[in-house]
Structure 1
Amino acid sequence: MELRHLQHFVAVAEDQHFTRAAERLMVSQSGLSASIRALERELQTPLFVRTTRRVTLTPAGRALLTEAERILAQVRSAHEAVAAVQGVLRGMLALGSEQCIAGVHLASLLAAFRRQHPDVEICLRQAGSGALAEEVAAGRLDLAFAVRGEREDTDQLRAVPLTSEPMIVLSHASHPIARAGAAVTPEDLGDEVFVDFHPDWGPRRTTDSVFAAAGVRRSVALEVNDVHTLLDLVEEGLGVAVVPRHFRHKRKSLTALPVKGTGETVYETVALLPPSQATSPAARALMALLETQDA
């Protein structure tokens, strides 16, 4: 099995199209097809279901994709490690992050990293914490800034703590809980209309844990995928939102009250990385830079 076979396989899996994958790889379509056929002969199983419009992975193809991505990531890390020993940090930093993550100012961090390491290409992906954890574990991301969940600290993933904070409830100033002006419990909020993020986002996962621990069921009527829409909906009085405490600075017109009775549940942000021996030089350099900014 040759590395180029795996590279070709991953490209076709990503594009779901031989012609587009061949153009991206700058190889002939016939050469790409031959490479995939050679891989299928070696593994003695079809990897793709081919139609006139697209190709999709077979079960064997899906199993191979995870391993192929991990192998290619390790090869890339090996090249970058050799370059780092030679005194030059180059290659690519594949980074993931949630929106408005606490404990890191992402834009200034990446700007400082680029100034120090101009030969490293930065690729950024924004997604929910669950998806980011899977991407790091699979080797598709070098690291990610996310919210701690239940599946971190495994053989393929480690979590480096950044910061933690309590949750608060945001509401319109005219809302009854705002007028009361006192800390609230999950039980106090059980009958409210909620604005919240999609289930994969860290704040939503933390809030779900808070209410589950309290044994309180809640209904998320307004589900969004960005912070500003959430704040707009709350500001219009369409619902309340339970969010990390640092969100209160984003919209001064909203009333922010503490949420008590949450037990040990807090919003904790972490840097997700592969095991130390598999962490790329670029990821280590970014984490070192983050530590100096926090100092």
Structure 2
Amino acid sequence: MELRQLEYFLAVAEECHFTRAAKRMHVAQSGLSASIRALEVELGAPLFLRTTRQVELTQAGRALLPEARRALGSVESARDAVAAVQGLLRGTLAVGSLQCLHVVHLPAVLARFHEVHPGVELRMRQSGNAELVEDVRAGRLDLAFATRQPKIADDLRMSTVASEPLVLACAPESPFAHRESVALDELRGQSFVDFNADWGTRDEADRALAAAGVDRRVAVEVNDVHSLLDFVAFGLGVALVPQSFSLKTDRAHFVGLRGDAPVAETVVVTGHTVGAAAAVFLDLVLEARAGRLHLAG
């Protein structure tokens, strides 16, 4: 099995079209098709279902796809590591993140990284927790900032970046607004505002309330922090949010949770092998967290 075969396979899988894949790889379609056929013969299974209208992965092709991405990613990481030893940092850095990453100012850190290492192409995408983790596992992202997951694949690693307690966000007119603390089981019967499933701290809130025996109703679902806080401020529900959200608005009230308050833990997800560019970027994140990195803006 040759690396070029895996590159051709990945191009066809992503383009779902042999002609487009050949143009992307700057080769003749006949040569790309012959390479794919040779790979199928070597593996003893067809990788694509070919019709006149479309190209789809077979079950064998779907099994090969994440492994091909990882293999090609490892080769690129090896090249980057050699370049780094020579004082050069090149290649691509693909970063994923939650919609509102409060533990580090990601745009500023990315800007600093680009200033110091302009030869590295930066890619950034936001998504939900499960999709971010899967994108790292599949090699589409080098690293991702997410909330801690109860389970993670054996070929991935989670490292804690920061943790903070969840608090209750409510409207100024809420009976909870001027309380010193609130117990979770007091929230029975309340309408909630929360993130969409698998987004932000939704999972932590679900687990904490379920453990407290609260069968809650989420009346409003959003996928950004400012909308969540606006709906709460106007009395359309309460929410469990990280304590740092209290710095984002003065229109809602924030009340601590009594007892063993649930914790929102932000982690960075990587493979067990981290490329040179990703390692340098994570060092900058740690410097920013420690206040040793001067960030403009």
TM above 0.5, yes or no, is yes
Contact 1:193/1:221 (8 A) holds in 2: yes
More displaced 10-residue stretch of structure 1: 237-246 or 131-140: 131-140
- The residue aligned with 2:171 is 172
Contact 2:100/2:224 (8 A) holds in 1: no
- The residue aligned with 2:287 is 292
- The residue aligned with 2:243 is 245
- The residue aligned with 1:118 is 118
More displaced 10-residue stretch of structure 1: 209-218 or 114-123: 209-218
Q: Which whole-Å deviations, capped at 9, do the CAs of 1:122-168 have from their partners, x for residues lacking one? A: 1112112222222223332211111111124x642222221111111
More displaced 10-residue stretch of structure 1: 130-139 or 244-253: 130-139
Whether 1:212 and 2:210 are equivalent positions in the alignment is: yes
- The residue aligned with 1:235 is 233
Counterparts of 1:228 and 1:52 in 2: how far apart (Å)? 48
Aligned alpha-carbon RMSD (Å): 1.9
2:286 aligns to what SS in structure 1? helix
Question: Structure 2 vs 1, CA of residues 192 and 137 (structure 1 numbering), >3 Å: closer, same or farther?
Answer: same
Amino acid at match of 2:217: S
Contact 2:96/2:145 (8 A) holds in 1: yes
Amino acid at match of 1:63: A
Question: Structure 2 vs 1, CA of residues 222 and 19 (structure 1 numbering), >3 Å: closer, same or farther?
Answer: farther
TM superposition score normalised by structure 2: 0.90
- The residue aligned with 2:95 is 95
Identical positions, percent: 52
1:177 aligns to what SS in structure 2? coil
- The residue aligned with 1:44 is 44
Q: How does 1:5-84 map to 2 (within 5 A)?
A: 5-84=5-84
Counterparts of 1:226 and 1:54 in 2: how far apart (Å)? 36
Counterparts of 1:223 and 1:26 in 2: how far apart (Å)? 45
Contact 1:102/1:163 (8 A) holds in 2: no
Counterparts of 1:183 and 1:16 in 2: how far apart (Å)? 55
Counterparts of 1:49 and 1:229 in 2: how far apart (Å)? 44
Counterparts of 2:59 and 2:97 in 1: how far apart (Å)? 30
Contact 2:99/2:223 (8 A) holds in 1: no
Amino acid at match of 1:139: G
Give 1:34 shift: 2.5
Contact 1:162/1:271 (8 A) holds in 2: yes
- The residue aligned with 1:268 is 265
Aligned residues: 290
2:102 aligns to what SS in structure 1? coil
Contact 1:214/1:262 (8 A) holds in 2: no
1:118 aligns to what SS in structure 2? coil
Counterparts of 1:254 and 1:52 in 2: how far apart (Å)? 58
Question: Structure 2 vs 1, CA of residues 50 and 259 (structure 1 numbering), >3 Å: closer, same or farther?
Answer: farther
Q: Which whole-Å deviations, capped at 9, do the CAs of 1:205-240 have from their partners, x for residues lacking one? A: 111121122232212232222223322322332222
Counterparts of 1:144 and 1:38 in 2: how far apart (Å)? 35
Give 1:260 shift: 2.5
Give 1:93 shift: 0.8
Amino acid at match of 1:80: D
Give 1:54 shift: 2.6
1:194 to 188, 192, 195: 192
- The residue aligned with 1:183 is 181
Give 1:44 shift: 1.8
Counterparts of 1:258 and 1:172 in 2: how far apart (Å)? 14
Contact 1:186/1:261 (8 A) holds in 2: no
Contact 2:66/2:137 (8 A) holds in 1: no
Question: Structure 2 vs 1, CA of residues 54 and 224 (structure 1 numbering), >3 Å: closer, same or farther?
Answer: farther
Q: Which whole-Å deviations, capped at 9, do the CAs of 1:69-109 have from their partners, x for residues lacking one? A: 11011011011011111111111111111122232110111
Amino acid at match of 1:243: V
Question: Structure 2 vs 1, CA of residues 230 and 30 (structure 1 numbering), >3 Å: closer, same or farther?
Answer: farther
2:36 aligns to what SS in structure 1? helix
Q: Which whole-Å deviations, capped at 9, do the CAs of 1:16-55 have from their partners, x for residues lacking one? A: 2333333332333333333222222221212122333332
- The residue aligned with 1:133 is 133
